[in-house]
Amino acid sequence: MCGIIAYSGHRPAVPVLVQGLKSLEYRGYDSAGLAFVHMEKLHLFRASGKLEALEAKLDSGHVLHATSGIGHTRWATHGLPNEVNAHPHLDVHAHLALVHNGIIENFQDLKNMLSGCGCSFRSETDTEVLVCLISHGLNQTGSIREAISWALNLIEGSYAFALISKDHPGTIWAARQASPLIFGQGTGENFVASDIPAFLPFTKDVVFLEDNELVEMNSSQWTVFNASTLAPVSKSIQTVAWDVQAARKGGYKHFMLKEIFEQPKVIRDCLSGRIDRKTGNIHLPEIENLPAPGRLHIIACGTSYHAGLWAKYLMEDMARIPVDVEIASEFRYKPLVPEQDKVYLTISQSGETADTLAAIALVKKHGMPVLGLCNVVGSSIARESDHVIFTQAGPEISVASTKAMCSQLVLIFLLSLYWAARKGLLDRQTAEKAIAAFETLPGILERSLPLMRETAASIGRKYSSSRSFFFLGRGIYFPLALEGALKLKEISYIHAEGYAAGELKHGPIALIDPDFPTLAIAPPDHLLGKVKSNLKEIQARKGRIIALTQEGSGLEVDDTWNVPRTWGYLNSFFMLPALQLFAYETAVYLGKDVDQPRNLAKSVTVE
């Protein structure tokens, strides 16, 4: 979730760029930088950490009069969060500077090709490969526009970028593919940014750029081209009525809602570069030297713990790997019994969870291997783990985790397929079905989320006066029942408990009455008959039931909530956002502070 701002106009560019970057701070970042052309020279300023570090460099005696430039706040994906890897990046001749969001999947192949042509690289990033590729194309074509088109035809992956040239001061080129980029038209000035807040103080007239579109602009004019053919594209200007806070949320009322609706993009980003569509192979180069474990021990907290429980069902079924799952705060205070061929998997969104870090220290003290699954490059868990896989969900602003869990489930599923294949347990037909379903999943989810939200709002209002809730599930949906209960507790302050459906009659069913409703995750799978029996027991005690299910379940309950259906375990990716939306809409109806619930912090960095 990096932030891009580009400006060409009549004002001093540096203050505009810095103000734009500050407006994008909510997206999260670990380094920042900007570049501009002045006096026939390309000036570059970068710093790790917060924008104050960049501003300190800008204030060090330089008198800057440039009226165009590019700026960037970076959320690390390729390479550690340091100044060398910060954007902008220059080509080998220091004639071009580029800022970039997204992931270039085939960057290593392109890097090898460019190295063979004599190009040397200073950073670990895929972004430097992109600017050097455009520079290489410029040497062949003589035209920056044609060089960009040539380079983009060679790229696989996602991108949004802005480019400036020493030889063309005042002109900026920008393009996008599966990563947001927006053009802003001012009076005697023009902007490009990854989000509207970056230029909202200067203009509300915007053009929403589409995939495979390239904009070329200066202070007085702009043209959008098809990036492949370079044919001009007609675009309409829209005027947004947002204030700055609404713009940061993309027009959504809360960050939590925005992040729930970002899950289709999260799935696409998590899959990017990890699936070979030709062979059906899963690529996880981060662990290619780590053998498939004889036993897996998962350690996590909160939502990440629920993701670990979900992983247990997948790993044991698909990869035939026995799995233990423990809460980190419990694991760290008990004796560790080393086992041969055991791998410890720690899961954390922030990578800074104190109890999980303490568990890693205990495991490493006994010389056992640690695989980290986290969202933040350069975080403590990423540094302390022997191997690490990054979920690439981008920063979460809302305290209640939503899209981060989605990204964890995607990587857990890929990890299960990967280890199953390495053990010779994954047949071609199953692999093809899983990958085909995964590839269509984001589109189906994207189309379904608005209706899911409407249904969640309707049901949430109906049950908002409840003081307690049961969430029930069987098999792989039991961990999701735990997560649904956690979300409702976190943001609506309604007491809720998640249970394995078969456990209800072992005590908790004593609580059932007309004022104690149950939300049951009950898809039409091989366990539906068992779930139906549990629900009959609730109905016999006059308990009200919401069934989160799919067409064909034949359930007769108080409220039936159907979501789309896909292949096997991937149905979890419809159940999860439905549960999140139910908690969200209930909390909104009750007037709660959804993004900052009481007593909670985003990352638990103390015991």
The answer to the question of residue 442 being in a domain is no
The answer to the question of residue 333 being in a domain is yes
| Euclidean distance between CA atoms 162 and 173, whole angstroms | 6
| Euclidean distance between CA atoms 395 and 362, whole angstroms | 28
Return all residues near 510 (Cβ < 8 A) that are at least 6 apart: none
Give the residue from 223, 248, 273 where a domain finishes: 248
Alpha carbon separation from 568 to 198, 410, 424, 531, 572 (Å, rounded): 42, 14, 20, 17, 9
Give residue 207's Cα distance to chain centre: 25
481 and 471 in contact (C-beta within 8 Å)? yes
* 495 and 394 fall within a common domain: no
Alpha carbon separation from 302 to 327, 402, 486 (Å, rounded): 8, 12, 8
65 bridge partner residues? none
Confidence (pLDDT) at 471? 97
Confidence (pLDDT) at 605? 47
- Cis preceding-peptide flag for 88 (omega within 30 of 0): yes
Two tokens, residue 153: 């035809």
| Euclidean distance between CA atoms 72 and 86, whole angstroms | 8
602 assigned to active site: yes
What are the helix (H) ranges across 540-590? 572-589
The answer to the question of residue 498 being in a domain is yes
What are the helix (H) ranges across 124-218? 126-141, 144-152
* 256 and 243 fall within a common domain: no
1 and 269 in contact (C-beta within 8 Å)? no
204 assigned to active site: no
Residues of the chain with pLDDT under 50: 61, 63, 605-606
* 55 and 180 fall within a common domain: yes
Catalytic residue, candidates 50, 423, 530, 602: 602
Query: CA geometry: angle at 411 spanning 410 and 413, to 5°?
Result: 65
Which residue has tokens 């549960």?
579
* 457 and 314 fall within a common domain: no
The answer to the question of residue 607 being in a domain is no
3-state secondary structure of 448: helix
* 349 and 415 fall within a common domain: yes
Considering the entire predicted model, what is its pTM?
0.78
Give the residue from 224, 248, 272 where a domain finishes: 248
* 193 and 127 fall within a common domain: yes
Query: Within a 13 Å sphere around the CA of 4, how many CA atoms are in the beta-carbon half?
Result: 27
The answer to the question of residue 532 being in a domain is yes
Structural domain that includes position 464: 448-602
Confidence (pLDDT) at 278? 73
Look up residue 19 and give its DSSP letter.
H
Domains of the chain: total: 3
Q: Measuring CA to CA, which residue among 405, 400, 343, 402 is closest to residue 374? A: 405
* 45 and 168 fall within a common domain: yes
- Span 376-395, pLDDT tens digits: 877 788 889 999 999 988 87
* 533 and 485 fall within a common domain: yes
Which residue has tokens 């005690």?
541
* 222 and 264 fall within a common domain: no
User: 240-245: long-range contacts (C-beta < 8 A, 24 or more apart)?
Assistant: 240/196, 240/200, 240/204, 240/206, 241/204, 242/196, 242/200, 242/204, 244/23, 244/197, 244/200, 244/201
The answer to the question of residue 181 being in a domain is yes
The answer to the question of residue 436 being in a domain is no
What CATH number is associated with residue 108? 3.60.20.10
β-strand 68-74 against 3-8: which pairing, if any? antiparallel
3-state secondary structure of 309: helix
- Span 25-77, pLDDT tens digits: 877 788 999 999 988 899 999 999 989 999 998 865 454 689 999 999 998 87
Confidence (pLDDT) at 604? 61
Return all residues near 412 (Cβ < 8 A) that are at least 6 apart: 307, 310, 311, 314, 315, 373
The answer to the question of residue 300 being in a domain is yes
* 188 and 286 fall within a common domain: no
Which residue has tokens 């900007």?
34
User: What is the sign of the dihedral through the CA atoms of 477, 479, 483 and 484?
Assistant: positive
What CATH number is associated with residue 562? 3.40.50.10490
Give the residue from 248, 263, 278 where a domain finishes: 248
Catalytic residue, candidates 2, 132, 301, 374: 2
* 527 and 596 fall within a common domain: yes
* 47 and 68 fall within a common domain: yes
